[in-house]
Structure 1
Amino acid sequence: MSFQVTVQPSGHQFVCETGETVLSAAIRNGIGLPYGCKNGACGSCKGKLLTGNLTHGEHQEKALPSADEALGFALFCCARPDSDIVIEAREVAGVGDIPIKKLPVRVAGLEKVADDVIVLSLQLPGSDRLQYKAGQYVEFLLRDGKRRSYSMANAPHLDQPLSLHIRHMPGGLFTDQVFSTMKERDILRIEGPLGTFFLREDSDKPMLLLASGTGFAPIKAIIEQAIHSETERPMTLYWGGRRPADLYMHALCEEWARTLPHFRYVPVVSNAAADDAWSGREGFVHAAVIEDFPDLSGYQVYACGAPLMVAAAQRDFVARCHLPEEEFYADSFTSEADLQG
Structure 2
Amino acid sequence: MTYRLRIEPSGHEMDCDADETILEAALRHGFNIPFSCRNGACGACKGRILEGRVDYGDVEEKALSAGEKEAGMALFCQAMPLSDVIIEVREIGAAKDIQIKTLPARVARMVDLAPDVRALFLKISASERLQFLPGQYIDILLKDGGRRGFSLANSPANDEFLELHIKRVAGGQFTTHVFAQMKEKDILRFEGPLGTFFVRQDSRRPLLMVATGTGFAPIKGMLEALFAQGDDRPIHFYWGVRHAEDFYYQELLMEWQRLHPHFRLTQVVSRPDAAWSGRSGYVIPQVLADIPDPGAFDVYICGHPDMVMDLSRALQGAGLNAEHIFADAFVFAKAKST
TM-score (norm 2): 0.96
Query: 4+ residue runs of structure 1 moved beyond 6 angstroms?
Result: none
Residue aligning to 1:331: 328
Match of 2:298 in 1: 300
The C-alpha deviation readout for 1:218-275, integer Å capped at 9, x for no partner, is: 000000010111111111111001111121223321221122121111111111123x
The CA distance in 1 between the partners of 2:74 and 2:320, in whole Å, is 24
For the residues of structure 2 that align with 1:151 and 1:60, how far apart are their CA atoms? 23
State the distance in 2 between where 1:82 and 1:179 align.
44
Return the alpha-carbon distance in structure 1 between the equivalents of residues 172 and 178 of structure 2. 10
The residue aligned with 1:27 is 27
Q: CA shift at 1:327, angstroms? A: 0.9
Distance of aligned partners of 1:251 and 1:154 in 2 relative to their CA distance in 1, 3 Å threshold: same
Distance 2:336 2:239 in 1: 28
User: Using the alignment, how far apart are the partners of 1:3 and 1:324 within structure 2?
Assistant: 33
Checking the alignment, whether the CA contact within 8 Å between 1:39 and 1:339 is kept in structure 2 is no
Query: Deviation per CA, 1:40-67, whole angstroms, max 9, x where unpaired?
Result: 1211111121211121333333222333
Report what 2:154 is aligned to. Answer: 154
Residue 339 of structure 1 deviates from its aligned partner by 5.9
2:259 is matched with 259
For residues 152-172 of structure 1, what are the alpha-carbon distances to aligned partners after superposition, in whole Å with 9 as ceiling and x for unaligned?
A: 001011142000000011111
Secondary structure of the residue that 2:177 maps to in structure 1?
helix
- TM-score normalized by structure 1? 0.95
Q: CA deviation at 1:340?
A: 6.1
The match for 1:115 is 115
SS in 2 for 1:174: helix
Look up the match of 2:271.
Answer: 271
Deviation of residue 298 (structure 1)? 1.6
Write the mapping of 1:71-90 to structure 2, written as runs, cut at 5 A.
Answer: 71-90=71-90
**Gapped runs of 5+ residues in structure 1?**
none
Amino acid at match of 1:71: A
- Output the aligned Cα RMSD: 1.5
d(CA) in 2 for partners of 1:199, 1:36: 15
Number of residue pairs matched by the alignment: 337
What is the alpha-carbon distance in structure 2 between the residues aligned to residue 25 and residue 233 of structure 1?
Answer: 36
1:136-155 to 2 correspondences below 5 Å: 136-155=136-155
Amino acid at match of 1:291: A
How far apart in 2 are the matches of 1:339 and 1:261? 46
Say if 2:42 and 2:309, in contact at 8 Å, map to a contact too: no
The match for 1:285 is 283
Whole-Å separation in 2 of the counterparts to 1:208 and 1:5: 35
Matched, 1:236 2:206: no
**Residue 292 of structure 2 aligns to which amino acid in structure 1?**
P
Moved more, 248-257 or 2-11: 248-257
Identity level (%): 47
| Alignment check: 8 A CA contact 2:49 2:86 kept | yes
Deviation at 1:118, TM superposition (A): 0.4
1: CA distance, partners of 2:170 / 2:160: 30
The one-character-per-residue Cα deviations of 1:131-178 (angstroms, maximum 9, x if unpaired) are: 000010000111111111000001011142000000011111211111
Residue type of the partner of 1:335?
F
User: Which among 296, 307, 310 is matched to residue 309 of structure 1?
Assistant: 307
Paired residues of 1:30 and 1:95 also in contact (CA < 8 A): no
Opposite residue 323 of structure 2, the aligned amino acid is E
Q: Which letter maps to 2:229?
A: S
Matches within 5 A, 1:52-67: 52-67=52-67
* Deviating more after overlay: 130-139 vs 245-254: 245-254
When residues 40 and 339 of structure 1 are mapped into structure 2, their CA distance, relative to the original with a 3 A threshold, is farther
